[in-house]
Amino acid sequence: MCNIKTLFSYEEMDSPMGPLTVIATQNGICRIDFGSLEENLPSLQSWMSKHYLKGELIHSPEELKPVVDQLASYFNGNLQQFTIPLDLYGTPFQIKVWEELKGIPYGATCSYKDIAQGIGAPKAVRAVGSANNKNPVPIIIPCHRVVGSNGALVGYGGGLDKKELLLNIELQNFIPKSS
């Protein structure tokens, strides 16, 4: 068995929702957790051991500065699209859903049913909800833009208050592209 160790860079940042912990591999951002590293350490270690043979966390503020800067710009209403490389670990179905989520425009919402239809699996609404819930990089992959079929705010890993805050940030700062 190979003893390859994956190095994970992390940085904590303040946001309008409270602290966020950003985690990256050398290939890109792999997780954003609501809360501090201390709060998230047990679930993070469990996740690392499930998906990687060995992992080591290294505090890397300079390495993750571009990510923190983009997130801060987003929260300030100055960024509508992230250009950060991602390193996602998920099933093929989850990856397909997450790619579809990235296509939801800033300031817009769509339903789980819309996402299911968009990936060519119109009957997989519940599976789409499950994949949405497993999104490892909320905000960057905008799962907060998915609402119930009646437009109601439903299900968000960070809590509905955070989902509402993110949607309000986008609504307050949305400037349609001129045609």
Looking at the annotation, which residues are catalytic? 143
Q: What is the 3-state secondary structure (H, E, C) of 59-90?
A: ECCCCCHHHHHHHHHHHCCCCCCCCCCECCCC
For the record, the structure tokens of 47 come out as 């996740």
Cα 30 vs. chain centroid, distance in angstroms?
9
For the record, the structure tokens of 52 come out as 């990687």
Q: Where are the beta strands (DSSP E) in the chain?
A: 5-13, 20-25, 28-34, 54-59, 110-111, 146-147
